[in-house]
Chain A
Amino acid sequence: MIDITASALVAQVFTGLVLGMIFVLLAIGLSLIFGLLTVVNFAHGSLYMLGAYFGVFVYGVTKNFWLSLVIAPLMVGTVGLLIERFLIRRLYGRSPDDPLLLTFGLSLIIVEGVRIIWGKIGLTIDPPKALGTAVNLGFMNFPAYRLFVIAVTVAVLVAIWLFLERTNVGLIIRAGSRDPLMVRALGIDLSRIWLLVFGIGTGLAGLAGILAGPMRGVYAEMGVTMVIESFVVIVVGGMGSLVGAVVAGLLMGQVVGLTTYFAPALAEIMVFIAMAVVLLVRPSGLFGEAGLLD
């Protein structure tokens, strides 16, 4: 009896880990964009949802999940580029609330647009056949697709880390989030970097969407709670801190996973309780520097 409970618990930890990975992908994108552009992208959840729909669309055309996994995030990233270039860019220098308000308006447009194009009823997308099985981890069986989600997220995180730490553009991004004025004084055109980072951040949201699609279903409202929970993740992690986003994302995945196991009714509430506790104990977040970007 105890063995069954223990293995169910481990299964729940793994499920929480997968959810945490989705949180991490969303929070990293939000955090990158916020750190450099000081823009809170309210449309992040809608773009996550759009990633899943684009994935279903590409899959419908090509019948190839791997292709849709690559193309859908690129499509979402392109939408992100257009949003930054033609809309958000007009708001730099105005109140930092304005981009938040604008992206709120955009999220309404995107959700309603998806309802018009794909209908109000949700869609489904199956994981590819190669990943449709369960893998025996020795102590339990776990769906291969979920392990794949973990692997992809880890790979993406390593790639982002290498990009930020080892490339010239990454150097400019890090410098730009610390002291944009100085970077511009050195003759670097930051507006192109902003465009790029917004594209990358929204592309990551799209990737999270297509990855989540086969596990959580594809529907127009799927981004709504996710974006609020991602906000919670970056508040807990410390805004603008990528390490914080990763740690807090995984932590929140566990919080949801474990409360779902012990007290299902509290699962949605615990995320916010955890946030309140962190705010009381450490207002700047786990990895946030006090006062930075306030």
Chain B
Amino acid sequence: MPMPALRSVADWVAAHPVSSFLAVFAVFPFLVPYQALATQVLIWGLFALGFNLLHGYTGLLSFGHAAYYGLGAYGAGILLAKLHFASVWGALAAGLLLAGTGGAIIGFFCLRRHGIYFAMLTLAFAQLLYFIGFHLSSWTGGDDGLRGIPQITLGFPGFPVSLEKPLAFYYFCFVLVGLAVALLKRILDSPFGAVLQAIRENSDRAVACGYDIDRVKLLSFVFSAMFAGLAGALDALRLTVVPIESLYWTTSGQVVMMTLLGGAGTFFGPFVGATAFLVLEDRLSAFTESWPLVIGAIFSAFVLFLPRGIWGTIIGGFHGRQSA
């Protein structure tokens, strides 16, 4: 495709994120090498979308988003496997609730410090949750992970839908992630979304304009945590197991890398980054055990030379992330 055409497509996509999401992901499973990858992209893309709300739009770099992803996964998993409450909707609600509560508590602590402290604090609290999850093995399964999550059918009244087939599960995720994408678009277009971006650009000025930025930041943190929690809950349903690594710092690092590879502060960056990362991981791990080295090198090169990420570079200027 010639460059100007690519540009105008990219511009249209950037201007109509929800329709574009629906169009692309409706056929996505048939565009990638295998369907499981498509579901992974949706779930990790949703996780990165939540991370991006906080980092890309509010300007807060969290290095501990594994906490909310993990809380979402354990919330859903514990309800299904330990409390034997056999409802997909209940599981998703439990994951969202747990992640949102965790986000509110941890966010309260982390937002007491600004700037670079914030990143370190989020990392520390996520690690705290990891150790708690590790030792609370009667609930979480500890080191072995939480096993025994049943595969249950989706309970519409009088109209049960089996999620057992990978493609059925993909479209189930597609609908939920589509709703999340629409919700995020709505949040960003609202006055609240404008304040988020004002905080990112110049928090002193946002204060001077009379906004209670601490409350706005906390709210953004909780929203972000709930997106991550939904992703975690969906992944628990997909895998029917919650590995303890869900809470580990490597999970936090992975979502950071995906978002930045794709383009922080852009609407589609997280999905582009999730696709790039997962395809890369899949291809590289077939060649070498040392694939993290290659991914680490690519990520470092992006930070140095392409800080706007793949999608950010394609759509160019306007949606680029802050650089000061």
Chain B 279-295 per-residue mask, 1 if CB under 8 angstroms from chain A, else 0: 00000000000101101
A269 → chain B closest CB, angstroms? 5
- B residues 238-267 near A (Cβ < 8 Å) are 249, 253, 256-257, 260
Do A231 and B109 touch across chains, with their CB atoms under 8 A apart? no
The contact of A228 among B124, B290, B304, by CB within 8 Å, is B124
Q: Are B109 and A90 in contact (CB under 8 A)?
A: no
In chain B, positions 293-313 with a C-beta closer than 8 Å to chain A are 293, 295-297, 299-300, 303-304, 307
Q: How many angstroms from the CA of A105 to the CA of B257 in the assembled complex?
A: 9
Which chain A residues lie closer than 8 Å to B317 at the CB level? none
Q: With CB as the reference atom, state the residue of chain A lying closest to B105.
A: A276
The answer to whether A113 and B116 touch across the interface, beta carbons within 8 angstroms, is no
Query: Could you tell me the distance in whole angstroms from the C-beta of A25 to the nearest C-beta in chain B?
Result: 18
| A50, CB-defined interface residue at 8 Å | no
The answer to whether the Cβ of B324 comes within 8 Å of any Cβ in the partner chain is: yes
- Chain B residues within 8 Å of A143, by CB: none
Residues on B with C-beta less than 8 A from A293 are: 115
Contact among B115, B121, B290 for A235, CB-based, below 8 A? B121
Q: Judging by beta carbons under 8 Å apart, are B300 and A113 in contact?
A: no
**Which label, helix, strand, loop or mixed, suits the secondary structure of the B interface?**
helix
Q: Given B115, B124, B304, which contacts A87 in the complex, CB threshold below 8 Å?
A: B304
Number of A-B contacts (CB under 8 A): 115
Contacts of B127 in A (CB 8 A): 225, 228, 272
Which segment of B33-41, B128-136, B186-194 sits at the interface? B128-136
Q: How large is the interface on A (under 10, 10 to 19, 20 to 34, 35 or more residues)?
A: 35 or more
Chain B residues, CB < 8 A from A102: 300, 303-304
Interface residues of A in 237-294 (CB under 8 A from B): 239, 265, 268-269, 272-273, 275-276, 279-280, 283, 293-294
- Interchain CB contact under 8 A, A231 and B123: yes
Whole-angstrom CA separation of A34 from B117 in the bound complex:
11
Of A59-67, A93-101, A133-141, A187-195, the one with at least 4 CB within 8 A of chain B: A93-101
Q: Contact between A108 and B299 (Cβ–Cβ < 8 Å)?
A: yes
Are B112 and A279 in touch, CB under 8 angstroms? yes
Known: A90-B304, A94-B307, A100-B119. A272 touches B113 (CB 8 A): no
* A100 touching B304 in the complex, CB below 8 Å, given contacts A231-B123, A279-B109: no
Tell yes or no: B202 within 8 A of A by CB: no
B115–A294 CB distance below 8 A: yes
Q: Are A283 and B128 in contact (CB under 8 A)?
A: no
Q: Is the CB of B135 within 8 A of A105?
A: no
List, in ascending order, chain B residues with CB within 8 A of A109's CB.
Answer: 293, 296-297, 300
- A-B contact list, 13 entries, CB within 8 Å: A94-B307, A94-B324, A100-B63, A101-B256, A105-B257, A108-B293, A112-B290, A225-B127, A235-B120, A235-B124, A265-B135, A275-B121, A283-B112
A-B pairs, top 3 by smallest CB distance, nearest first, are A108-B296, A105-B300, A112-B293
Q: Which residues of B contact A (CB under 8 A)?
A: 61, 63, 109, 112-117, 119-121, 123-125, 127-128, 131-132, 135, 249, 253, 256-257, 260, 290, 292-293, 295-297, 299-300, 303-304, 307, 322-324
A residues with a Cβ closer than 8 A to B are 34, 38, 40, 87, 90-91, 94-98, 100-102, 104-109, 111-113, 115-116, 224-225, 228, 231-232, 234-235, 239, 265, 268-269, 272-273, 275-276, 279-280, 283, 293-294
